[in-house]
Structure 1
Amino acid sequence: MVKSREWSRKTREEVITLHRKGNGYKKIAKMLNIPRETIGSIIRKFKAKGTVETLPGRGRKKMLTSTAVRYLKRRVEKSPRVTAEELRKDLSDVGTEVSAQTIRRTLRNEGLHARTPRRTPLLSPKNKKSRLQYAKSHVDKPQKFWDSFLWTDETKLELFGPMDQRYVWRRKNKAYEEKNTFPTVKHGGGSLMLWGCFASAGTMNSLQYQEILDDNVMQSVTNLRLGRRTASHCHPISPGTEEILDDNVMQSVTNLRLGRRWTFQQDNDPKHTSKSTRAWLQIKGWNILEWPSQSPDLNPIENLWWDLKKAVAVRKPKNVTELEAFAHDEWAKIPVDRCKTLVSSYASLLKAVITVKGCCTKY
């Protein structure tokens, strides 16, 4: 007969106390309003084990042995993409029949949970070597060195981008009720491209452009004043006005007080590494940081783009005009302390790259 309940420790101790005083099973059962069979079970257990505590080993036995659990842990540590069904078949081949759900539950109990993998750039051995070399050669630089950097990058903002997606609380079979759905629009419903720069002293105004840049128009597109429209704001600009880039960058350097020994950072996008762009930068005589390819995680401005996209999504722009206005507004609101923290923690980022031998980091 299966027990319907577990009596409290206090009650069991009271049974033993009454029994030691010479009371019989029937009398104790009547005094405590407990079935006589239960009284007998408590007393027999006390006589055999010397305790009224609940002993281990009760309940349903585990379906997987400790050896099987160790196998599952080794398997998923070595091959994280293996499925629960594949693991079930592996155990079945050696005579252990369990469900895939049992395997999932066992792994969760061991601290291993199924998660969506993070998306990272594809790194070749050459990329990893370059990243590792970059980290080792800069990890011991003083903070003053990083405070003189002008970090730059481009990003794309969509009107209905992924930052707008949220979880919903809903009941079963209610997935397609309008309140539980997320409407989508082709091509994100409109977008804009932003170029921005920052240093430990803060951000500068963002520059918008709406064209695909190539090495022939890279300098001319960045001719646009940061955050200011011109008549040619959304159209290709003829080359030959590189001095405006000089105005924008140098104005940022001055406003952010980077000093005379400042360094210009940009990634290895083809428009940045073309012969014409390199030649133009060489004429300017700027100190250019040698940047390892496939390394967005090494550029702290990526964290600011994330902050910007979250802030813009909260304001729910209804059209591209609002998207642009909110983007410039929120970029200007980024606290100086946020910028300073990103730059001051850069050495930790480089140490992380060294630890993982050039692979991608959480930064």
Structure 2
Amino acid sequence: MARVGGRVFGPHEEFHRESYRLTDAIRIEIIRLHKNGIGQRTIARRLQIHRKSVELWIKRYNEDRNLKVYANDEGAPRLTSENEDFLLACSATINNFDNSSDVAAKAGINFLSIQSISRRLNESGLQSRIAAIKDILTPEHRAGRLHFARRYVDYPVEFWRWVLFTDEKSWSSAAHGQIRVRRHQNERFNKKNIYSIKRSGRTTVSVWGGVWLGGLTPLYRVQNNLTSAQYITNVLEGTLLPYIRQAYPNGEPVVFVQDNSSVHNSRTTRQWLVEHPEIVALDWPVKGADMNPIENLWGHLVVALNKSRNEQGLPFHARDANGADELYALVNSEWQKLMRNETYIESLIESMPRRLQEVINEEGGWTKY
């Protein structure tokens, strides 16, 4: 019998495979029968296993009182061949959002533990990571994003410093949780590793906010479903316009970014913008969230909110009015803290040329932002 590359070859190869597939219960039963004076051949016959398996576990128990299986140490041969390792890696590459047991099953390998499967995949460079979750992009979405990026990529940073980026953010009770993906290092935003979703779910807390080099706008809490009338009255007239007029009392125009939701793009909203020439809406593309620096602010806010929520014992998805009020209070508190982080805000605004270049590099696809 010979050992080559961690695998044992010879007349007892099948015994070595069997020995390390035995359940904890079988290994314990081997020792119990042995202590009761039962011979090794009889134990093997009763448990319908190889006598060498009985001998191995009795020896290990007598030496160190240990019945654990070690990964590829001197007494534990590797259970998979190079071909089986290759099949596992192929299965994980094709079914990269599947869990370890499903990956192994689709590779036709059903004798490894979850830990062993994970080790094999890690050895192949396919580590389990939290997947990037993005909306589905149609060919039309990609074309629009690419057109916008090519049009504005050469605009200087100075232009973007005085653009006001706005957006709404919602926390939904229909959260899908973290999705994991098997991938190689530095491939998080590779197209095949992005988990695409369709947005749905009951919203518990929604807010509107804006960011530019001048800082952050006041945060406005959206009540119920936002309509065009509410957007104009409460957001544009009630929050945005007073903020801009305070920053530019002489009426200088401000370039303004909003996404292409139906509320933002309605006839009444467009007419309101025509009537207020001091606010110039940029021709932002559909599905342009990763180009908008405020998305990073929301991400920063979520991390801070999770920490505050855990410290205060508040559930993330508030189920009643009081819970939603408490959640909004936390959101607003973290927003006020961000207002003082001028260096972070400036770095977000100055990233605009890089964001646009990456959209071009991805031919209109999602970027790391």
TM-score (norm 2): 0.59
SS at match of 2:207: strand
In structure 2, how many angstroms separate the alpha carbons of the residues matched to 1:288 and 1:276? Answer: 14
Matched, 1:130 2:136: no
Residue aligning to 1:361: 367
Matched, 1:311 2:293: no
Aligned identity (percent) is 27
Query: Is 1:196 matched with 2:209?
Result: yes
Asked whether the equivalents of residues 91 and 104 of structure 2 are also in contact (C-alpha less than 8 Å), the reply is no
Out of 271, 275, 287, the residue aligned to residue 267 of structure 2 is 275
Q: Is the 8 A contact 2:258 2:264 kept in 1?
A: yes
Residue type matched to 1:114 in 2?
S
- Are residues 348 and 77 of structure 1, via their aligned partners in 2, closer, same or farther at CA, if it must alter by over 3 Å? farther
Matches within 5 A, 1:169-208: 191-208=204-221
- Mapped contact 1:151–1:197 kept (Cα < 8 A): yes
Q: How many Å apart are 1:106 and its aligned residue?
A: 0.8
Q: In the aligned structure 1, how far is the partner of 2:83 from the partner of 2:330?
A: 57
1:140-289 equivalent positions in 2, closer than 5 A: 140-156=154-170, 191-222=204-235, 225-226=238-239, 247-248=241-242, 250-251=244-245, 253-254=247-248, 260=252, 262-285=254-277, 286-289=279-282
Determine the C-alpha separation between the residues in 1 that align with 2:84 and 2:222: 58
Match for 1:201: what amino acid?
G
Distance 2:136 2:119 in 1: 32
Q: Which has a greater percent of strand? A: 2
Please name the residue that 1:301 is paired with. 294
Deviation at 1:348, TM superposition (A): 2.2
Equivalent residue number for residue 12 of structure 2: none
Contact 1:268 1:291 in 2 (8 A): yes
- The amino acid across from 1:199 in the alignment is W
Matched, 1:327 2:331: yes
Count of residues in correspondence between the two structures: 261
Secondary structure (helix, strand or coil) at the match of 2:133 reads coil
Judge conservation of contact 1:132–1:354 (CA < 8 Å) in 2. Answer: yes
Question: Aligned residue for 1:118?
Answer: 132
Letter in 2 for 1:250: I
- 1:140 aligned counterpart, secondary structure: coil
Q: Deviations over 1:268-305 (max 9, x none)?
A: 11010011211221232332211221232222112222
* Partner in structure 2 of residue 170 of structure 1: none
Is 1:80 aligned to 2:74, yes or no? no
Change (3 A) 1:98 1:327: closer
C-alpha separation in 1, matches of 2:333 and 2:127? 40
Quote the Cα distance in structure 2 between the aligned partners of 1:90 and 1:75: 6
TM-aligned CA deviation for residue 112 of structure 1: 1.0
One-letter identity of the residue aligned with 1:272: H
- Give, in angstroms, the shift of residue 76 of structure 1: 2.9
- Where does residue 348 of structure 1 map in the other structure? 354
Give a deviation string over 1:197-220, Cα, whole Å, max 9, x none. 110231121122313222333211
RMSD value, Cα: 3.8
Distance in 2, matches of 1:128 and 1:278, equals 24
Q: How far apart, in 2, do the equivalents of 1:71 and 1:350 lie?
A: 39
CA distance in structure 2 between the aligned counterparts of 1:89 and 1:192, rounded to whole angstroms: 41
Q: Which one has the largest radius of gyration?
A: 1
2:125 aligned partner, one-letter code: G
- Cα separation, 2, equivalents of 1:358 and 1:83: 30
Take 2:151 and 2:139, find their aligned partners in 1: how far apart are those partners?
Answer: 18
Structure 1: runs of 5+ lacking an equivalent = 1-56, 166-186, 227-244
Amino acid across the alignment from 2:359: V
Q: Is the 8 A contact 1:139 1:351 kept in 2?
A: yes
Q: Does the CA contact (< 8 Å) of 1:204 and 1:252 recur in 2?
A: no
Change (3 A) 1:74 1:301: same
CA distance in 1, matches of 2:84, 2:209: 54
**Aligned-partner Cα distance in 1 for 2:218–2:102:** 53
CA distance in 1, matches of 2:236, 2:145: 31
Indicate conservation of the 8 Å contact 1:157/1:309, yes or no.
no
